[in-house]
Structure formats: C-alpha cells, structure tokens
Structure 1
Amino acid sequence: MNQATKNNKLIVFFTKVSFILPAMILLILLTGYPLFQVIQMSFFDYSDKANPIFTGFSNYQAFLADPAFWNALKNTVIFTFSSVAPGLIAGMTFALLLNQQINTKFRGVFRALLMFPWLTSSTVVAAIFILMFSPFGLFNFILKSIGLNELSQIAWLSNEHTALLAVILTNVWRGFPFMMLMILASLQTVSKDMYEAAEIDGAGFFKKFFFITIPQIKKILFTLIVLEFIWNFRSFDLVFLMTGGGPMNATEILSTYVYHYAFRTLDFGYASSAAIFMLLIMILFASFYIKASIRKETNE
C-alpha cells in the first residue's frame, strides 16, 4: 500500500470522525460528567451536606443490607417482566391484525387510535387510570356489571395486594403501541411468497406464524425485548404519579427507592450507590444484547 493510499484513508477516517465528534462531545458533557459525579458521590456520606465524608463502600454495604432495597428490587423485577410479556403479546396480536389485507383507510384510522396511549403523556395516563381504579371508577363498575361484586369493592391503588397489578396494567396499556408499531414494520418486510408457498403445502395460521413469521422477525423481536426490559427496569413516572411507591411500599421500585433517598431524605451518597447498582444491571442487559448481535452477525 503506497503512501498516497494511506493518506487518503486517514483523510476519510478523520472526516468521518469530524462528523460524529460534536455529538460525542455533547454526549460526554450531558451524560459522562454527571455519571462521574454520581459514581464519586456514592463513596461519600452526606449527613453534613456542606462537608461530605469519604466512606468507601459503606453506602453499597448499607443498601445491600436494607430489606426495603430487596423489596424494591423484587417489585422492579415483577413490574418489568409483567409489563414486557403482556405488552409483547398485545403488540404482536394487533400487529398481526393490522398486517392483514384490509381497507387501507380503516387500517390507518385503527393504527392511529391504537397509538394514542403511547403518544399520551405519563401525567395524563396516570390521571386517567387513577380515576378508573378508584373505588367508584370505571374498572369497578365493569366488575360489578359482570357480577363480581366482591372485587368491585376494592380500592385498587390503595390496597397493598392490588396496587402493583393496577400500575402494571396501566404500563402495559401505555407501552404496547410501540411494540405493535415495531412488529408491524417488521411484518411488512416478510415476503408474501413464503406465505403463499406455505398455504399451497397446507400450512395453517399457527404453522405459518411459528415457522415463517417468528423466524423472519426474530432479530427485531430480540432487540425490542431487550430495549423494553431496559426501559421498564428504569421506569419511574407512572409508579411515582399513581402511587408514589405505596401503599406500604407495595409498589416501591428501584427508581422510586433512589428518588426517596435522593430528594426526600437528601442522602445523596446512599441514593447514588443504589443508582449505580441499577446502572450495572442495565449495562448487563445491554452487553448481553451486544454480544448476541455480534454472534448473529458472525454466524451469518
């Protein structure tokens, strides 16, 4: 390789870098420096706000020994899995329906209506479902109308046994349209010839779904599931607006747990250490996704 070719490659490389450099600098300023500050704060005791004391890993030891932390972690895991799985099923169901050969105008209207929950702000969604789950709300009215009188007397968001379920249902309603949209986009890339060939061979709906549809869109599904796990694991707004982590810490998740110690008790060191724990779990999810993606690309 002659010197001119090397110089040209270097010029191309630095040209590409110059395009992304402003964005990288902005990203470092907006996320990198605050992250460094959080990591630094996690090693200090802020009992005296003016003069924090370096305490090493004591904050990490403290939250790992706190039963409230493990309760929040348990609720976070339940909240995450119970939001992603039903949301994925609902998104897949509606995506399959919208992918059928139906009137284009009707499909457009129906798709716009289904996207409404995802486009609505968290505050509005929380306000709607607080009213729906109140003792005299729509949810209890429906239960009473179908004969479930005992269940219709429950104050869903005030009962420690039902509050988390109510928040999960709200989160599923709000989140499934995004999954529906992504799955619908991937379904439209699947060749119709494969379905026609399967129909000629006598394959029914379920055989086409499991042997054609799922294998063809599995990459999108995998990406979607990992992203939804990360987003739901760090979710904060709906839980905070609907219950604030109560009643009796029944809906306390890691994000509200961190918020409580950071902005109510002002124990910034303790809150920072718990936030770093959340970050490590999300990095684990992200690394799993990256490794799986690289493995797939290598195999192909």
Structure 2
Amino acid sequence: MRIARFSIDGNVAFGAVEGEGTPESGDLVLDIIKGIPYADHELSGVKVPLNKVRLLPPVLPSKVVAIGRNYAEHAAELGNAIFDEHGRPDVPVAFFKPSTSVIGSGDSIAYPSFSSDLHHEAELAVVIGRMCREVPPSRAKDVIFGYTCANDVTARDVQQREKQWARAKGFDTACPLGPWVETDLDPTDLAIQCTVNGEQRQLGRTNDMVRAIPELIAHISEAMTLLPGDVILTGTPAGVGPLNVGDEVAVTIEGIGTLTNKVIKRG
C-alpha cells in the first residue's frame, strides 16, 4: 500500500494512493484513512484526486538517522575508506538530520547562505512503524512500516571544512522525503536514480549497500529508541554532484515513485 500525507482545505490527513501514474497526471486518487497509519486504521471510502491536494512529507519523524559511506563506490569518490587497516568493515557512520530539515515532494530546497557547494544524495529511506529498541537483525522486518525516497542534501564545502556534519546536512530543507510511503516492498535490490534538470546523475541498486537494512536497524536501535515515523536513510550510491539555484532534482526508486524538488535562493 502507498500511504501519503496531504493537506486539503486546511486539513491534514493520510490517504491510500490508488491508481497508476504521477501526482500530476490526474490518474491517482487518495482513499482517506480513518485513524493513524502506524496503528489500527481503515479506509474511509472517501476519495479525492491526488492532483487536487498538496502532498506533505509522508511522515513527521522525531528524528532522521542517516548512514554515511554505505555504498563503496560513493565512499571512494569522496576519498573515504569503509574498511579498517585489517580489511574489516568499520562500524556504520551514523548522523542525525533534525525534523526541521524535512520537506515533502514539490517543496523547495533553500540553498543555504553559508555554502557555495550544495550536493544531491539519492537514498532509500526506511520508515519505522513501532517503538523499538535493541532490535536484532532477524526481527528488523517487524518494526518497519515502509519505504520512501529521500535526498540527503549536503553542503559539501561545509562538511569538509567543519569536519562534522550537523550544519552541512541538517539545515532547513536538507531532507526531502516522499512522495509517499510504500508498505509492501522488498528493498533488497531496487534501482535508485537521481536526475537534475532531467539529466541522470546517479544510478545504483540497493543490493550494493555495504550493510543491509536489518544490520543498520540493529546498529542504531542498540543505542537509541526508535519511534513510529522515525526515518533511517540508508546511504547513497556514487554520482553525487552539485545543485544550483533553479535546478530541479528528482529521486526515483523502483517500486516507490519519484521525489521532486526545486532549488531556490534562501530568502
């Protein structure tokens, strides 16, 4: 099931996306959900055309936990090692993106005034469906609500200059998510693509992850409690590159859909 969060006539609701096509095509409708998607809920039977509503970020996470260097070719393109001196995999590199960085499909990415080298990073995002802690890899599927597209927008010059990533990856609008959450999906071998103004920049597959999703969930939940709606970004394939004011960047993931955002000058 594809579950979207949207606003219409000043009201915010969740709905199940029905039909095929794009959010703009007029071929999709939302069956409004009664209740909260993470808990017991049912479809109301009240349907609205998707092109008549405003799509919002599909979740409002208490936190976004992102994983760096989870695709070997991307780590190599930035000159980062993913193995220690003995040839063993290092522990996953985890960092936070605040909830204030989250925007939805169709929202604008505001180019931060303190950067001159903004980059796109297309990623598969995991949405947590229940409160959990210390989840073993074998139980990871039990705590997953679904999957969505993400763009880990990064001020690359700030990241390199400051040596830690809070401002570089946590500024307002730095975490586009959407367009909806797909709850019925096998994430092990999906195509991930990023285009800028229609030109392909990134193309990879999730089976190239250094560490699979169950391992990431186990690693993160060993340290902290995850709540319904929390998001885990699973890393980006090679091909990251610059974004400029006026660019339209799109992240497409097989089986989910396309997340599209335009870059504007920060006001």
Above 0.5 in TM-score? no
TM-score computed with the length of structure 2 as normaliser? 0.25
Between the two structures, name the one with larger relative contact order (CA 8 Å, sep ≥ 6): 1
Structure with greater strand percent: 2
Say which one has the larger Rg. 1
Structure with greater helix percent: 1
TM-score computed with the length of structure 1 as normaliser? 0.23
